[in-house]
Every structure is written in C-alpha cells, then in structure tokens.
Amino acid sequence: MASKENFLVGIFDNEEVLLHAVENIRDKGVKIKEVYSPFPVHGLDEALGYRRTRLPIAAFLFGMTGTITALSTQIWMLGFDWPMIIGGKNFFSIPPFIPVTFEFTVLLSAFGMVGTFLVVSDMKPYKWPRQYDIRSTDDKHVMAIDLGSNKIGKEDIRRILKDNGASEVNEKSF
Amino acid sequence: MQAESVFRESLVTGGKTVADVSQDISCQVENKPTRLWWTAFGISLVLLTYGGYCCWMMLWHGIGMWGLNKTVGWAWDITNFVWWVGIGHAGTLISAILLLFRQRWRMSINRAAEAMTIFAVICALSFPGFHMGRLWLGFYWAFPLPNAFGSLWVNFNSPLLWDVFAIGTYFSVSLVFWYMGLIPDFAVIRDRAVRMGHMTRAKIYNGLSFGWDGAAKTWMRYESVALILAGLSTPLVLSVHTIVSMDFATSVIPGWHTTIFPPYFVAGAIFSGFAMVLTLLLVTRKVFKLEDYITIYHVELMNIIIIVTGSIVGIAYITEFFIAWYGQVPAESYAFINRATGPYWWAYWSMMTCNVISPQLFWFKKLRTNLVATFIISIIVNIGMWFERFVIIVTSLHRDYVPSSWTMFHPTMYDIGQYIFTFGIFFTFFFLFAKFFPVINMAEVKSIVRATSEKKNKAH
C-alpha cells in the first residue's frame, strides 16, 4: 500500500460559523482540501476561492448543437431529400420547423449539461465516495485539511480549527 | 445569509432541526411499509390488472374496440391524453418556475409534484401509443428514421409530430431534473444505512446517488445545473401544452380553430395539475405524518394558484363564446350554442360548474385553509378539467358538416378500461415512489430549516 494520506477533519454544526471559519482559516495560510455539506451553503464556493463553474457554457454549446442538428435535418429531409406537397405549402419554411428545433435544443442542452456534470464531478453508480465523516450528509459540515500539503503543523491547525468554532476535530487517514 | 421576512409564515413548523429532517423523511424509506400502504398499493395493482386486460384485448383486436365511429374519430383517447399531460404541468411549474422566482415554499412539495409529472406523462403517452394500433411499431413511425419505402420522412409540418418531440423531451428532461434532485437525498439514505449496518441497502442507494459526496465544489456545480435545468424547463413546459393545443387549433374544425388555445390550455393544465398535487399531497402528508413540512400555508398558496389559473380558464371560456358570436361565422356560432344547449349540455355545464364556479370558493380564507374543503374541490376541479377536454373534442366532432353523419359518442368498456389502466400505472408508480424514494427534498428543506426554526425559538 502506498503511503497514507493524513487529514485533519473539522466538524461544524452551523453554516454561518462555517463560512467565517473558512475565511479565517484561509487567511491564516492553511490550505483547505474540501468542505462537505448536507445542503448547499451560499457563499461557500467564494469563501473557498473556487472559480465559477463553466457548466453553463457546456449547456449552451450542447444547445447550439441541438439547434443546428434539428434545423438542418428538417430542412434536408423535407426540403431536399424527399419534398412533399402538404396542403400546397412551401417545401420548406422555417416557422413549422421551430417547435421541433426548440425541443431538440432543450433536450441536448439538458442531457449534455447533466452528462458533463457527472463526468467533471467524477460521479458514477459504482463509485463509493471518500467520506471524511459520515455525518456530512446528515447535519454536519465537514472540513477536510490535507496535512501533507500544509506547512503548518498538525497541532497548530487543530487549534486554529477549534478557535474558529469547530465542534470536533478528528484525524482521518486513507 | 438571506434575510427572512417577519411577515411570512414559517415554511417548516414544529421547530425542526437539520437532523430532524433526515430522520423524518428517511424513516419512511427505512421502515417496513404499513398496512395502509399495502392496501393502497393492492388497489392500484387491481386497477392495473383490469386495465391491462382491456389494453391487451385492444392490442389483440385493434382499436375498433373503442367506441369511436366515423364522425367522432377522436374521443376518450385524446381527452385522457390531454388531461394527463395537463396534470403533469404543475410539477414542472413548482420545480422550475417557482425556482426561478425564488419561491421557497416549493421546497417541500417539489419532489412529489415532479414525480407526479413523470407518472402523469407516462399515462398520457400510453394513449397516442395505443391509438397507433401497433404499439411496438410506434417508435418507428413517430421518429424520423429511414424506412422501408425509401426515405419517406415524417411530416415536420404536423403538430402531431411536434407533440412527439415536445412530450418526449418534456418527459426525459423532467426525469433528469427530478433525478438530479434525488441524488443528494439518496446519499443521505446511504449513509444512514451504513450507520445502521444495512450494507445492501447502502450499496443500492449509493448506486442511485452516483457516489455523491456533498463537496462544496460539487454543490456549486450542482446548483448551477439545477438553475439551468429550471431555465430550460420553464419554456419547455409552456411549449408542451401550447403544442398540444395546436393539435386542435391548427385544424379547421369549428370549436377548435381558435387562437386563444395555447394560453388557455397552459392555464388549464396548471389549474388541473395543482388540483392533482393537492389531492396527492393531502393524502401523503397524512399517511406519512408530514404535517410539519407540508403546512396549511403551503396548501393555501397552492389554492391561490388554483384561483388564478381557474379564473384564467373561466375568462377563456367566456372569450371563446364571445368571439363565436362576434366573429359571425355560422359554423362557429353553432358549435358553441350546441355545446351549451345541444345533446352534450350536461358535459358543458359540468365543466362550467366544476372549473369556473368551484375554484372561486377559495376566495374565502376559511375554505382555502380547510383541508377537507380543499381535498373535495381539488377532485371536483379534476373532474371539471376532464370534461373540458371531452367537451372541446367530442362536441366539436359529433356535429359534422353533413347532417346525415351527425351522431353521438358512446364509450365502450375498453375506452373506460384503458383510462382505468392509466390510473393503475399512476398510483402504482406513485406508491412505489412514496415507499422507496424520499418524498420531500431533504437537502433543500435543510437549507431553510435553520432559519425558520431559529426564528421560532426566538419567538418563544
């Protein structure tokens, strides 16, 4: 087995305490690996210094793919490949093709974005996530600090966590 | 943190903490089903079996088993189809449109409402499916696939084909949206199962949760996905019933050829959908003891939406009548006078009573905060909305342009049987959902519970 990764795990009961703690701890120069919460905490991503997700761009690109595919397919099928006279109307005109184009845009955009989300977040049915504390899906906010990547000593970090309102500080190795 | 208005009522009562939410909702999944659940599930299976027999007979002998005749070529099948699709709309309205408007009262009802949407759309899809005669070839006929006659493509000018795409997209996007919401909650059940030592259950729910870990980065992406899905679902849900209404509005049948159909149908869909959400949730909150999560305040807000959409529907009925007179087209005027005074007068007046008069009772605060009254009116509204579709479809068709082909429509036991079949599907799925999936979105409710319970503690 490879050398173990050692973590210090801070448990927070309240999201407001957590938010201040994240800011203070990062100011002290401690690197936070990740924070695990039972529900989305607004402002936590900014406090941790995460860049905004680019998933909306993915959604837009998938959507545009849908628009172009649906529109060009309809024009090609009814306009060129097999033109049919239906009620004496034009072989192709844009308005009747809009509903299907719209639906297909939404379909590809939604599925493309959710698929991208699962891939970038590395989520799959047969994966068991690394759990620093099992209560993180119930009611605790769990802050994981990788001791290997921090220059500050373990006991100092433990003290900083306690000072900033952590209700428990545990050690965990993987 | 977000500020809480002191004038608003609490969304979660009983001073619940975050841990209480996990416990109250997950225990429904973890406990053995109650006798009440088995009884309800058994009745659904009986409906499903009887309906399944009728559907089988119809597949075997063809749709001649239905009561359709050469004048009335569309009747119960499309009535039921539109009715079920309409019911589905409330789920998306609650989860998508109310999310965009930041209405936090949606949080404890969106899960069940979205489940209802998905099951209702499955029920709806069965009608055009069976109407195609050979169900197993339906996919081949409805989608633009190269076929045996060379490449004769489907007709993209037809609203019926738009329906295929609209409802197909609506179903799959709603399913994804609903499932996305379930992912963090499956992880809650997984971790509780680990703590209780049920490893098989933990593995199943971990698979369902895609290995969810709840990291801040994942939550950030997750919220972004939820917001965009809501943004996509909002125009999608409006487009679906618009396109359904175009099945009628683009034809030249008197009584169908109306430009107000799209908004009128969308309002009617939301109206009937909220009624169905109320019917289901009033039972669910009682059976699963969720009175602290689905409060009288939630019921009242939903009843207000029923007044609004019910009034829009009422105005649409009156507008149609007015335009039929003002337009001075004899066939059109006749179609409307025939609806109100012809042989189907009873259907027309049932529709008017149930849809226009009954929701107006909710102007009384006593009635809209009364659970029994709400339950009864929600069922009346759904009966009324079924009659609306029946009136639009059958009364417009049964008086043809040629008086010698004037006739009446009589449903056979197979028409009725297939309707029963869809109730069987709907309730079977709903009870399975209520047993095995968390019926309330725990993650979202947890994000508001701290604010509400703290406020309550301060008040004491």
CATH number at residue B358: 1.20.1630.10
Looking at residue B8, what is its pLDDT?
59
- B8 domain residue, yes or no: no
pLDDT value of residue A163? 86
B171 interaction partners in chain A (CB closer than 8 Å): none
From-to residues of CATH 3.30.70 in chain A: 6-51+136-173
Can you read off the two tokens belonging to residue A112? 């493309």
Establish if A42 touches chain B: CB-CB under 8 angstroms.
yes
- The pLDDT > 90 percentage for chain B reads 55
Residue B460 has pLDDT above 80, yes or no: no
In a domain, B88, yes or no: yes
Strands A34-36 and A141-146: antiparallel
Closest residue in B to A75 (Cα–Cα): B156
CA-atom Rg of chain A in angstroms = 25
Q: How many CB pairs under 8 A join A and B?
A: 198
- What pLDDT does residue B354 have? 92
A128: region left, alpha or beta (phi > 0 left; psi from -120 to 50 alpha):
beta
Contacts of A56 in chain B (CB under 8 A): 224, 228
| Subunit contact B232:A106, Cβ cutoff 8 A | yes
The per-residue pLDDT for range A87-106, each reduced to its tens digit, is 888 887 888 899 999 999 99
Within 8 A of A99 by CB-CB distance, chain B residues are: 159, 162, 165-166, 239, 243
Q: Taking CB atoms and an 8 Å limit, are A99 and B144 in contact across chains?
A: no
Nearest CA in chain B to A76: B153
CB-based contact A99 B218, cutoff 8 Å = no
d(C-alpha B40, C-alpha B431), whole Å = 8
Which A positions 143-172 lie with beta carbon below 8 A of chain B?
A: none
Nearest CA to CA, how far is A167 from chain B (Å)? Answer: 16
Average pLDDT across chain B, whole number: 88
Q: Which residues of A touch B457 (CB under 8 A)?
A: none
**DSSP E strand stretches across A16-167:** 34-36, 141-146
Nearest-CB residue to B446 (from A39, A56, A123): A39
Torsions phi, psi of A144, nearest 5?
-105, 130
Distance from CA of B410 to the nearest CA of A (A): 33
The C-alpha atoms of residue B460 and residue B447 are separated, in whole angstroms, by 22
Domain count, chain B: 1
Nearest to B213 among A36, A52, A102 (CB): A36
A53: nearest CA in chain B? B221
The correct answer on CATH 2.60.40 for the domain covering A6-51+136-173 is no
- Give the pLDDT confidence score for residue A1 in this predicted structure: 44
Predicted local distance difference test score (pLDDT) of residue A3? 66
Q: A129-153 pLDDT, tens per residue?
A: 888 888 888 888 898 888 888 888 8
What value, to the nearest 5°, has the Cα angle with vertex A18 and ends A41 and B102? 20
C-beta atoms of B155 and A86 within 8 A: yes
Residue B1 lies in a domain: no
Angstrom distance (rounded) from CA A48 to CA A55: 19
Q: What residue numbers bound the domain in which B60 lies? A: 18-144+152-451
pLDDT digits (tens, 9 = 90+) for B19-62: 888 888 888 888 888 888 899 999 999 999 999 999 999 989 98
Selected residues 94-113 of chain A with any CB under 8 Å from a CB in chain B: 96-97, 99-100, 102-104, 106-107, 109-111, 113
Q: What integer is the mean pLDDT of B86-98?
A: 87
Residues 6+ positions from B20 with CB-CB distance below 8 Å: B449
Do residue A134 and residue B194 have CB atoms under 8 angstroms apart? yes
Question: A82 and B157 in contact by Cβ < 8 A?
Answer: no
Residue B114 to residue B110: CA distance in whole angstroms:
6
- Give B292-350 pLDDT, tens digit per residue: 888 888 899 999 999 999 999 999 999 999 999 998 999 889 999 999 998 999 999 99
